[in-house]
Structure 1
Amino acid sequence: MPQIDYYLALQSPYVYLAGRRPWEIAARHGYDLVLKPVDVAQLFPRTGGKVREERHPSRKDYAAQDRARQARKLGLRLDPAPLYRSANPAPAAYALIAAQKAGGGDLGAYVQAITRGLWAEGKDHSDDAVIGAALAEAGFDPKVADRGMLMAAETYAANLEEAVSRGVFGVPFFVVGEEKFWGQDRLEDLDLWISGK
């Protein structure tokens, strides 16, 4: 089955804004969607970018306005400055990697629960209880991350190296073969390209 590689970071507002659309596109075209969580704090400087704290205020102001517009367009609630934005993203990413390997649940529901929790519900995405509840909501064993922690940590590091080698420089980022699409606002283009348009 052909696949879409989806590079993502669960603390990203743009992954939240992407929502279920990556899964819908993959299902519509008979593609497998493979999730590859990455550490953007390491990805950005290695690919010419800057983490949010290092960006010029004009860039941060524009991004905040744009996120608010995108959220309104998509009918999503978005806290412009969530309390836990700077919390450690690794535990939620490890849980996603472990859940994907274990199978049996809905990865899209897990991603939505974590990102919605951070960007709309004031939840701490690094908290074990929040992660466990999101896994359970998505049909996974809430303890799946505990059993797969070492494998998940190794995969998380490997995903970063793979992302850099494939030209990924931000999230959400979608790769189909050699074709690349960056941003939730390019999902329509991904859909069209897979359709041959």
Structure 2
Amino acid sequence: MAAFDYYFSTLSPYAYLAGTRPWEIAARHGAEINCRPLDIMTLFARTGGVPPGQRHPSRQEYRLIEMERQAARLDMMLNLKPAHWPTNAAPSSYAIIAAQAAGGGDMGHLVHSILRACWAEEKNIADDAVIRGCLKGAGFDPALVDSGLLAGAETYAQNLEDAVSVGVFGSPFWVTADGTRFWGQDRLADLDAHLSGQAG
């Protein structure tokens, strides 16, 4: 079975805007997605990026314009300045890592529900109750939020190292088995074409 890595932050508005489309693309190609949540702020520091709040005002302003524009195009609800952002992304990331290892649920639904909780539902995704609700809604055991913390922390850290080593510098980012990279939810059509053998 074909597979590709999906590097993202649970704080990323553009990962939220990607929705469940990565899983729809994977299903079309019989591919498996390896979810690789990571620490986006550390990734920025390691790869020359700048956190949104530290960017020039014109860049901050345009970021909000583009987020609103993309959300409207996709007909998705989006709070440009959510009540609980930024927050600690580690707990939700550990839950995704644990759920992927456990299996038995819908990973696309889980990832999107966590991102939606932050960007559309004004929920704190560092809150265990919020994470449990997302796990349950996606068909996973809510108790995963309390298990595998050490393994989750180790994998979370390794995801960052692996991301840097393969040239990832933002979120969302997809890397196929042949090393081809795609950055941003607006490049999902290119990922789809690549998996179809239509583009490089």
Q: In 2, Cα distance between the equivalents of 1:83 and 1:147? A: 28
What SS does structure 2 have at the residue aligned with 1:143?
helix
* Aligned amino acid, residue 179 of structure 1: T
C-alpha displacement at 1:186, in angstroms? Answer: 0.2
Mapping of 1:40-119 within 5 angstroms? 40-119=40-119
- Paired position in structure 1 for 2:181: 180
Aligned pair 1:192/2:196, yes or no? Answer: no
What SS does structure 2 have at the residue aligned with 1:63?
helix
* Aligned amino acid, residue 48 of structure 2: G
- Paired position in structure 1 for 2:160: 160
What SS does structure 2 have at the residue aligned with 1:155?
helix
What SS does structure 1 have at the residue aligned with 2:142?
coil
* Aligned amino acid, residue 141 of structure 1: D
C-alpha displacement at 1:11, in angstroms? Answer: 1.0
- Paired position in structure 1 for 2:2: 2
Q: In 2, Cα distance between the equivalents of 1:66 and 1:107? A: 27
2:5–2:175 contact (8 Å) kept in structure 1: yes
C-alpha displacement at 1:124, in angstroms? Answer: 0.4
Q: In 1, Cα distance between the equivalents of 2:145 and 2:20? A: 22
Q: In 2, Cα distance between the equivalents of 1:68 and 1:40? A: 21
- The list of structure 1 runs, each at least 4 consecutive aligned residues, that deviate by more than 2 angstroms after superposition, is none
- Paired position in structure 2 for 1:34: 34
Q: In 2, Cα distance between the equivalents of 1:101 and 1:165? A: 23
C-alpha displacement at 1:4, in angstroms? Answer: 1.0
2:84–2:124 contact (8 Å) kept in structure 1: yes
* Aligned amino acid, residue 133 of structure 1: G
Q: In 2, Cα distance between the equivalents of 1:194 and 1:114? A: 27
C-alpha displacement at 1:145, in angstroms? Answer: 2.6
Q: In 1, Cα distance between the equivalents of 2:65 and 2:52? A: 15
TM-score by length of 1: 0.98
Return 5+ residue gaps in structure 2 as ranges.
none
CA RMSD in angstroms comes to 0.7
Overall identity of the aligned pairs, in %: 54
Summarize deviations over 1:19-48 as a string: whole Å, max 9, x none: 010001111011111100010010011011
TM-score by length of 2: 0.97
C-alpha displacement at 1:109, in angstroms? Answer: 0.8
2:128–2:145 contact (8 Å) kept in structure 1: no
Aligned pair 1:126/2:126, yes or no? Answer: yes
